[in-house]
Amino acid sequence: MLILPRRAVVTAIRASQRLKLSTATGTKSFPSLRNANIPKAVVDLVVIGAGPGGYVAAIKAAQLGLKTVCIDKRGPPGGTCLNVGCIPSKSLLNNSHLYHDVLHDTKRRGIEVSDVKLNMAQLLTAKDNAVNSNTRGVTHLFKQNGVDYYQGAASFADPHTIRVFGNTDTDNNTPAETLLTTKNVIIATGSDVTPFPGITIDEKKIVSSTGALTLREVPRRLVVIGGGIIGLELGSVWARLGAQVTVVEYQDQVGAGMDAEIAKLAQRSLVRQGLKIKTKTKVLSAYEGVDGVISVQVESAKTGAQELLDADVLLVAVGRHAYTSGLGLDTINVERDSRGRITVDEAYRTTPHSHIRAIGDVCTRTPMLAHKAEDEGIAAAEYIAKGHGYVNYDAIPAVMYTAPEVAWVGKTEEQVQAAGIKYRIGRFPFAANARAKTNLMTEGWVKVIADENAHRVLGVHIIGPDAGEMIAEATLAVEYGASVEDIATTTHAHPTLSEALKEAAMAAYIKPIHF
């Protein structure tokens, strides 16, 4: 007797039969696969990828009554974010910040600490524990919501059949290959590290963001190619732990996507912390010498002058690209753009298969952010189950978890200018905020951009303590089309850092009280 995965619908498919599935676009039939020895199951939805977009989509679909399977070849669910991205990097960011503060900041607070030592092994163990706790949490949520999770590589056998290779169902001893016949598919395979031409990543001396999270010792010299969010966050981690960090950025400012004024403030802050930042600089090559030192050849985009930078470790952080390898998209002719991203419409439907949807980093809807993918996962599941879903792409917050943090939502000043919108700006420094002064954390500003006439909030940009938490209120304001008066006349608890947002909103149309 063939035992299929728990909660799966048993089906016997004969070679001469044709299976008919009801889809959103009508009834579609196709030949069944002929290998009777491969276990088969029929489900409502297969989600390929168990990252933030995929696992959230699977859970929401199950909650909406769809028989759902989620597949990921990594093993533990959570995708790049939970395993080798957001979660482990935030563990290192937080704990390296604590270490740095104990070394350099506690004395002025009246706390005398001596014989401070860095236990690198324990720092990495704490990171791994954070990862394991979060991935186990997703596994529990799958079980709680009735999602079948397959650990294996998925590929399209045809538009309605997914072949799963390797490993097993987490709840059942499933053979190494399984066929899933499904009415709907959500592709949520995320993104991978973008390589740098001519530089080979070995994850030991020349590392990606993944390798930078597992270094066993602090490098004396670290060169980072790329001054975006990932490069600056990881660069700041190792700088706090004692590395001499040099960041090389081709653009004229760091922090891709940031408001230019805030980006300049962030760069100044990081430089004061000891990072060397070279903007308008092009990397020509990198090679490892016989002494193990990596030589990075760079060139000034302005003058053409060249320079050699020596590094014990080189971090390549020049971005990420859509990951579709092994999916068999060419087999079913799924349309992609010139950058390899799956093209989708407003309901995340792919071309030419409306029952196949794509979300998160792998699709053409930007930006590449975990929380954006989560919201798309919910929306895609709702489109399948209900026919409607919602994500407001004008209200997607972003955060850089350096110290101070940088967070923003809505339009930058440059975007408002380019759109020809008449606007006004309100600014308020944390140096004038009572809680920030009390906490001895006064670096940074809140910047609010509002429409000149209606005073509607167009964008909020924060550099300062707990900016990543404060941005939630600003995101709600943008989502609901609030005016700066709405924020300013809303009572904020005192003393709190959030009062800085209230005062910046006030400054956008009259004057703040405390500055």
pLDDT tens track for 445-462: 999 999 999 999 999 999
Question: What pLDDT shows up at residue 75?
Answer: 86
Question: What pLDDT shows up at residue 166?
Answer: 74
pTM of the predicted model as reported, rounded to 2 decimal places: 0.91
SS3 443: coil
Contacts of 290 (CB under 8 A, 6+ apart): none
Question: What pLDDT shows up at residue 20?
Answer: 34
Contact call for residues 147 and 70 (beta carbons, < 8 A): yes
Buried residues in 86-104 as b, exposed as e (16+ CB within 10 A) = bbbbbbbbbbbbebbeeee
Measured from the Cβ of residue 452, the count of other Cβ atoms closer than 10 Å reads 11
Beta bridge partners of 162: 156, 180
pLDDT tens track for 294-329: 999 999 999 999 999 999 999 999 999 999 999 999
From the list 104, 140, 494, 514, the catalytic residue is 494
Single-letter amino acid code for the residue at 485: E
Show the tokens assigned to 239.
Answer: 């700088």
Q: Is 114 exposed, middle or buried (0-12, 13-18, 19+ CB in 10 A)?
A: exposed
Contact call for residues 166 and 281 (beta carbons, < 8 A): no
Of 83, 87, 8, 86, the C-alpha closest to 42 is 8
Low-confidence ranges of the chain (pLDDT < 70): 1-38, 167-175
Question: What pLDDT shows up at residue 174?
Answer: 52
Peptide bond preceding 465 in cis form (omega within 30 of 0): no
Q: What is the 3-state secondary structure (H, E, C) of 62-83?
A: HHCCCCEEEEECCCCCCHHHHH
Of 144, 131, 133, 132, the C-alpha closest to 59 is 144
Question: What pLDDT shows up at residue 290?
Answer: 85
Question: What pLDDT shows up at residue 252?
Answer: 95
Residue 100 is among the residues annotated as catalytic for this protein: no
Question: What pLDDT shows up at residue 184?
Answer: 98
